[in-house]
Amino acid sequence: MPLNVVLAPGGNRVVLMLNGWAKNGIEVVDWHSGKVTQSIELPAAFLGLAFSPDGQSLAVSGGYTDQVYRFRWAGDSAVLTDSIRLASADARRKGSRYPAHLTFSPDGKRLYVVENVVDSLVVIDVASGTIIQRRATGHYPYGVAVHPDGRVFVSAWGGHDVAMFSPSANGLSAAQMLPAGRHPSALLLDHSGDRLYVTSASTNRIAVLDTKTGKQVSEMRDPPPAGPDEGTTPNALALSPDGSRLYVAEADANAVAVFDVASGKLMGRVPTGWYPAALLTTGSSLLVANGKGAGSRANPLGPGPRDAGEHQGPSARTAQTQRDGYTLGQLRGSLSILDATTFNENTLAQLSARVARANAWDVTQRNGKYPPFEHVIYIIRENRTYDQVFGDLAGADGDTSLVYFGRKNTPNAHALAERFGIFDRFFVNAEVSADGHPWSMAAYAVDYVEKRVQLNYSSRSSERGTSREEIARDDDPNAPSTGYLWTLAAKKGTTLRNYGEYADADRAGHVTSKYPGLENNTNPEFPVWNLDIPDQKRADVWIAELETYVKQGSMPAFEIVRLPNDHTSGGSAGKPTPRAQVADNDLALGRIMAALTRTPFWKSTVVFVLEDDAQNGPDHVDSHRSPALVLSPYNRPGVYHRFTNTTDFIRTMEDILKLGSLSQFDYYGRPLTDIWATAPDLTPYDLLTPGYSLTEKNPVASRGAIESKVLEFDREDESDDDAFSEILWHIVKGYDRPYPGPTRMSLLEARRGR
C-alpha cells in the first residue's frame, strides 16, 4: 500500500513509503530500470516522507510508533541514523499522536509534522531533534506544504479548512483557517507559490486557493460522467515541469486525471493500477504509486499447514506465508512510469475511453422491470465465504472440501438457496469489516477508510476497524459525502426501520444510533454487536415488531437487519462453539423468513441477505466470493452464474425503492433485473432446525481455546483475521486437515462475467 513517493537527490532513485498490512517502511527504486535497490522495514509508517533541502537526510513518519525516523542519504541509499519521539516516554499507549505527512522549512532548519489523531502540527528543530512548538490544526490533519516565504499549510481529513501558519519570532503563529471544501487532504503549491491545490476526495473536487488572499479562486472537478458526484476519489497531486498541467490521482477510478491549469478543464484520463495514491513528475515522466497494485492472485498453498497430520498453529507460520496468503497481504502495490509527452489530445481521448470501459462508464444505464415490491429487507451478516457455507450445494460451483458449515449446520440457508436461487459468482466489494460496512451501507469507502484499514488490521494502529467516535458530526472522516442508504431513504421520504446496524447500546442495553437518518428509526431493543447475545434474541425482537406491523396494517418500506453471530467466537473457552453460533444465526434467519412469509406483506416484499465481507476464509474461486440470497415470492429457483457484487445488490434495492444512487459504483452497477418470475409463489416458508445444539460450548482446555486466547471479539474484526480463520478451520475440520487459505478469482473470469 504505497501512499507516498518522492524523488531522491540526483534524480536516479525514488523512495516509496509502504503502509500496508504486510509491510511498513521504505523502498528505494531505480525508476529507470524498475529495480528495487533497497528495502527497509520499519515497525510502522504512515504517509510522511520528505528529503531535506540539502538532500542529505530523509525524514519518515513512524505512524503508530509516534516517532519520526531520520535517514542519512548517500550513494543513492538510505541509512537509518536516529528517530525523534513525539510522545512522552510515559505515554499510556502507542499511536497517541500518529504522525502523518511532514515537510522541511525552506532553509532546512525546521521539520513540520502533522499529528493525525491529536489535531496538531509539530515544529521540530532539525539540528537538536527537539520539539519547539505545537500548533492546533483542523480535525484529523493529513497534508502539509511549505511556501517559499515560510508559511505552512495543513489540511484536515475531518474538516472543511486548510490551516495557514505564518512564521513568527518563536516559530509559527496561530492558524488562520482557509475554507477549502469537505475533508481536504492532498496539498500542492504551484511553482511560484501563488496557488495552493487542495483535493476533496469524497466530493471529486480540487479547490484552488490564492495564497496571497487565502481565498478560493476556482475549482477543478473530476466526477464520473453521470450519477452522484462521488466515487473517483482524487487523492494525490502533481504538476508538469512547466506548470501547465495538473495531474490528479483518482484512487477509485484507477486513473490519473489530466487538467489544463489555465482553464481548469479536465483534458482526459490515463489508466493506472489499482488505487493510485501518490504522484511524482520528473522530466517528461509521470510516476504513479498504485496502492493496491495489479490486484489479487491465486494462492493455493496457504497460509496454513502444508501436510496432512502436521499441526502448525498460527504463530508457527512464517511471516512470508502470512503475507502471501492473507487477503490484505496480497495487495502489494506497484509503480507505474508514464511518458507524459504522449498525452496529446488524440491519445488522451483514447486513454479516457479505456478508463471509461474499465469503470463501465460507457455502458448504457441498465433499467429493467421489477415485480410489484413495496418492501425491501436488507439483512447483513458477518464474514463468510461461499464455500464455507454453500460449497456442498448441488449444481453450483462449490468445493465440498472447504465447507465449514454445511447443510446440517445451516439447513435454512440451504433450503432458501434451493427454493429462491443461489448466486455462485457473488463477490463482496470489501476486504474486511472496516471497509465492509461502509461498502454495504454506502456503496463506497472513502480514502480515510482505505488508507487506514491495512494499518489497523496489521496492529500498527491505535485502533482496530474504523473509528466511529465522530459520527454525530459533519467532520466524520469515515463518512461519504452523499451519506448512506438511510440518507437516501430520508430524502425520498421512504419509511425506514433499522435493527442493529451503525448503532450502539448504553449500559442499560438501550440501543440508539447517532447517524442522521437512523436516530429516530432504530429499534431500541434490538441488540447491537455482542456475540454473547444469541441471534435468537434478535429474531425475537424483529418478529415481535413484525406482529405489530401486521396489526396496524403497514410495514416500513425499507428495513436493515444485522445478524452478526455467524462471525463466531472461534474456540474461546466457555463461549458457544462456532457451529453453535452459525446454527444460531441460521435459525434466526429461518425464523424471520418463516414469520414474514405468513404475513400479508410477503406478497410485496423482497429480502436481500449478504455478508459485509468474506474475510480470510477459504474459497476455491476467490476469497471475496460470499453467500448471497435474494428471497421473494417472485424469485425463481436455480443457479445464477453471472458476476455480481455488493454494489450491484445495492443498486437493485435502490431501483425497487426508487431511492437514487450514492456513488459511481451503485449508479453504474448491474441490477438484478433478470431473476424474477412473472407470477408469485406465496407458499409460506417452513422453518428447519439445525442439526447442532445452539448451547454447545467450547471446552476450557482445548487447543482451540488456548489458541483463541489471543483473539478479541468486543468489536467486529478486533482479532488477527489470518489467525482467526485458521483456528476456526481446525476447530471445525480437525487438526489433521491442512488449512487451505484463500484463493483469488482470475481477472479474466471477472471480465467475462460483465
pLDDT per position as a tens digit, 444-500: 999 999 999 888 877 666 553 334 344 434 568 899 999 999 999 999 999 999 999
Q: What angle do CA 196, 198, 199 make, to 5 degrees?
A: 160
pLDDT classification of 744: cutoffs 50, 70, 90: very low
Say what the pLDDT of residue 345 is: 96
- Of residues 364 and 728, more confidence is placed in 364
Q: Are 484 and 654 in contact (CB under 8 A)?
A: no
Q: Could you tell me the residue ranges of all domains in the chain? A: 376-445+480-752
Paired residues of 146 in beta bridges: 152
Paired residues of 27 in beta bridges: 16, 39
Say what the pLDDT of residue 357 is: 96
Lowest mean pLDDT among 38-52, 286-300, 354-368, 494-508: 286-300
Paired residues of 278 in beta bridges: 289
Say what the pLDDT of residue 323 is: 56
% of the chain beyond a pLDDT of 90: 74
Q: Which of 358, 394, 101, 402 is nearest to 224 (CA)?
A: 358
Q: How many CA atoms lie within 13 A of 57 on its CB side?
A: 20
Say what the pLDDT of residue 364 is: 81
- DSSP 3-state of 605: strand
- DSSP 3-state of 71: strand
Exposed/middle/buried for residue 364 (C-beta within 10 Å: 0-12, 13-18, 19+): exposed
Q: Which of 559, 112, 155, 107 is nearest to 373 (CA)?
A: 559
Q: What is the mean pLDDT of the chain?
A: 88
- Kindly give, in sequence order, each residue whose CB lies less than 8 Å from that of residue 699, ignoring residues fewer than 6 positions away: 573, 705
Lowest mean pLDDT among 7-21, 94-108, 145-159, 735-749: 735-749
- Kindly give, in sequence order, each residue whose CB lies less than 8 Å from that of residue 177, ignoring residues fewer than 6 positions away: 138, 161, 162, 163, 164
- Average pLDDT, integer, range 367-396: 93
Say what the pLDDT of residue 509 is: 86
Say what the pLDDT of residue 77 is: 96
CATH code of the domain made up of 376-445+480-752: 3.40.720.10
Say what the pLDDT of residue 472 is: 39
Integer Cα distance of 582 and 693 in angstroms: 10
Give the phi and the psi of residue 700 in degrees, each rounded to 5.
Answer: -70, -40
- DSSP 3-state of 225: coil
Integer Cα distance of 533 and 513 in angstroms: 19
- Average pLDDT, integer, range 129-150: 97
Give the phi and the psi of residue 536 in degrees, each rounded to 5.
Answer: -60, -35
- Of residues 717 and 84, more confidence is placed in 84
Distances (CA, A) of 293 to 147, 193, 272, 289, 332: 33, 33, 9, 8, 6
Span 232-273, pLDDT tens digits? 999 999 999 999 999 999 999 999 999 999 999 999 999 999
Say what the pLDDT of residue 707 is: 60
Integer Cα distance of 183 and 203 in angstroms: 9
The four Cα atoms 316, 319, 321, 326 give a dihedral, to 10 degrees, of 110
Q: Are 155 and 164 in contact (CB under 8 A)?
A: no
pTM value is 0.89
Span 502-536, pLDDT tens digits? 999 998 889 999 999 999 999 999 999 888 899 99
